[in-house]
Structure 1
Amino acid sequence: MTAGKPVIGILGAGRLGMVLARLATGAGYPVLIAGSGDPKRVALTPDMLAMGAAATSGPDAAERAGVVILALPLGRYRTIPADQLAGRLVIDATNYWWEVDGFPDEFTDPLTSSSALVRDHLPASRVVKAFNHMGYRDLEDEARPPGQAGRKAIGVAGDRADDLEVVSGIVDDLGFDPVIVGALADGIRLEPGTEPFGADVDARELRQMIDRFPDSQRGRRLAAALASRAASGSDH
């Protein structure tokens, strides 16, 4: 802990992971970052040397961090160290993206959200969805101090009020206005196929987009799947 701020562990040393690491170190958080390769190789990259984050392995970051951010492809969610993350607060920034993840049934099922898959893999962790819907370039370019005009918003979804409060504080520290979407299941309103996904908007507009979820492509797919399930159940 430094100045009351928890150590943030970031699983994923790609573009999103590095941007979040820069924002977090800039906000005064100690940061551990774990990529898929040798931590020594990650540690020697110019980005890592400039920001002052520490490179380590996934299990080590999971054990030592107070809060862990998942910034890796959804298709790798089974590699997340579940045992080390027991009891931890986990921020899920993953998304299903067919170009990377392919078309497995578990990812294409309209009744299942990416965060539900992560939560089921991490049953002893507290999972909150955030940082998944804004592109990494916008995250880096749009971070602003509190109260500054033009500040953009990040949606946050989770099942526990205290966890939502912690993650909202991190979102605020990293330069964005947090918008509570609802329970973790409501995080589906931030996924690909919705208005918020890829959007770079303020809190007021983000709330409006979230409210229009039923009219989005993802919302219509969910409604159709629910109707189909209800009809199938009534046939038996």
Structure 2
Amino acid sequence: MNTSQDDAARPIRTLGVVGAGKVGLVIARLALGAGYRVLVAGSGEAARIAGQLDAVAPGATAAEASVVARRADAVVLALPLPRYRALPVEALHGKLVIDATNYWWEVDGLQEEFADPLTSTSEIVQGFLPDSRVVKALNHMSYRDLADEARPAGAPGRKAIAIAGDDPGDVAAVARLVDDLGFDVVTAGTLADGIMLQPGGEVFGADVDAAELRAMLDRFTTSQRGLVIARARAQRAQRDEPGPDAAP
């Protein structure tokens, strides 16, 4: 989706979180501490998680996923990846969506679309939400590290989170959010490059500073996982290349 300058420059004041599991609740708590208004949707009715929010993220508001999508300036997806198909597509129209999902084949079962080396899982989410603006972030660090490692800007030993997206304005907006949550930011590239942040790569599970995270991303292309992906994408490009008899 094309992003207008006004949309890209719009600050995030209300953060929505779809998913009330461990990752979603940690993100909600960190966002509250950073001064954001936070709306959280779990599975089922909002009343089911209201008490949980009072205990873990007091100040966050429980709401249905469609309400969270409409009222938030940006929405974090902190739910199991296969559940992306249940997202409220229309309510997310035009919204900045921060994809923190991961594909766990041990839990989700073997699903070919998520294991395809040609496509990052965030590109799949973007395809399902064609009128939203998807940025990959907040997926590669464990919920325990997210909870324990948040530090003010400039603090010694501050850890870093990688983000990937196609629109510079949206990437900048997510970078500001990540910084507010307590982490330095390292940009990984486009949404397709977000495959470097997924399980199977060195970055996944990383709890390191910005310099080391940058080094991990830079050496991805020479890693076993990186070589598999590069080979598959090169073969696709070769197949898609027009033959000598193709019309100009």
User: For this structure pair, what is the TM-score category when the shorter chain's length is used for normalisation?
Assistant: over 0.9
Matched, 1:184 2:191: yes
Percent identity of paired positions between Structure 1 and Structure 2: 59
| 1:26 aligned to which of 30, 33, 58 | 33
| 1:85 aligned to which of 86, 92, 98 | 92
Match of 2:43 in 1: 36
Matched, 1:120 2:130: no
Contact between 2:16 and 2:38, CA under 8 Å: does it hold in 1? yes
Q: Distance in 1 between matches of 2:53 and 2:17?
A: 17
Equivalent runs, 1:146-157 vs 2, <5 Å: 146-157=153-164
Match of 1:173 in 2: 180
Q: Distance in 2 between matches of 1:168 and 1:218?
A: 26
Contact between 2:47 and 2:62, CA under 8 Å: does it hold in 1? yes
**Per-residue deviation, 1:117:** 0.5
Matched, 1:195 2:170: no
Match of 1:6 in 2: 13
Contact between 2:151 and 2:158, CA under 8 Å: does it hold in 1? yes
Task: Provide structure 1 residue ranges, at least 5 long, that are not aligned to the other structure.
Answer: none
**Per-residue deviation, 1:231:** 6.6
- The TM-score, its normalising length taken from structure 1, stands at 0.93
Aligned to 1:111, the other structure's residue is in SS state coil
Match of 1:212 in 2: 219
Matched, 1:164 2:168: no
Contact between 1:129 and 1:187, CA under 8 Å: does it hold in 2? yes
Q: Structure 1 runs of 4+ off > 4 angstroms?
A: 46-50, 230-234
- The TM-score, its normalising length taken from structure 2, stands at 0.88
Matching residue's letter, 1:72? L
Contact between 1:7 and 1:29, CA under 8 Å: does it hold in 2? yes
Equivalent runs, 1:55-94 vs 2, <5 Å: 55-94=62-101
**Per-residue deviation, 1:6:** 1.4
The number of aligned residues is 232
Change over 3 Å in CA distance of 1:47–1:218 after alignment to 2:
farther
Matching residue's letter, 2:116? D
Aligned to 2:145, the other structure's residue is in SS state helix
Contact between 2:12 and 2:74, CA under 8 Å: does it hold in 1? no
